[in-house]
């Protein structure tokens, strides 16, 4: 419950204004927009504590975020909260993703800084790689680090060179 409250607080703060809902009839008419960016995974609580001196308990649930640098005017920093789903589960569970710059693709929801991931890649030594989990028994490629969906066996993380995104 604390995590949900912290996410809502971060969303309100990221918009730079007070959130206002106009009663039960309030309805968002804007659709999510495509999202594609290069950045780093961070714990939003720790980032806000370091950057803005926010109060944070020493022991806390991590709120996974995505930090873009130079993505806003004057070379600033922009933060996004990552929605946990089957395509982003690896980002939450596998610490190896925090060691790389990532390219995340998905969509950002209206009036928020919440992103839903549909694809991830990482950069290593300046080159872009597709990253996936592989079951050698079933020859199945997956997006999450859990057991194989077929045989329930162990999967291994693999990477393959990818095409650079068009500018």
pTM of structure: 0.78
Confidence of residue 166 (pLDDT cuts 50, 70, 90): confident
pLDDT of residue 60: 87
Take residue 30 and report the two structure tokens written for it: 């804007």
pLDDT digits (tens, 9 = 90+) for 45-99: 999 999 899 898 888 888 999 999 876 666 688 999 999 999 999 999 999 999 9
- Alpha carbon 50 to its chain's center: 20
pLDDT of residue 137: 96
What pLDDT digit, counting tens, does each position of 9-21 carry? 444 444 443 444 4
Task: Assign 3-state DSSP to the chain and report helix, strand, coil percentages, each to 5.
Answer: 20, 35, 40
**Does 23 or 134 have the greater pLDDT score?**
134
Given this model, what pLDDT does residue 25 score? 54
Q: How far is CA 69 from CA 40, 50, 58, 65, 76, in A?
A: 9, 16, 26, 13, 6
What percent of the chain shows pLDDT beyond 70?
Answer: 79
């Amino acid at each position: 419950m604390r995590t949900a409250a912290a996410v809502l607080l971060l969303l309100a703060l990221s918009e730079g204004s007070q959130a206002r809902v106009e009663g039960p009839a309030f309805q968002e008419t804007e659709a999510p927009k495509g999202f594609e960016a290069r950045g780093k995974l961070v714990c939003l609580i720790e980032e806000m504590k370091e950057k803005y001196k926010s109060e944070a308990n020493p022991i806390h649930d991590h709120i996974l975020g995505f930090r873009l640098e130079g993505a806003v005017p004057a070379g600033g920093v922009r933060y996004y909260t990552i929605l946990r789903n089957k395509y982003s589960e690896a980002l939450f569970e596998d610490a190896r993703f925090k060691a790389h710059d990532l390219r995340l693709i998905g969509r950002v929801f209206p009036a928020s800084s919440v992103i839903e991931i549909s694809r991830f890649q990482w950069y290593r030594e300046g080159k872009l790689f597709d990253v996936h989990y592989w079951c050698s028994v079933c020859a199945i490629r997956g997006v999450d680090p859990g057991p194989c969906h077929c045989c329930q066996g162990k999967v291994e993380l693999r990477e393959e060179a990818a095409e650079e995104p068009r500018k």
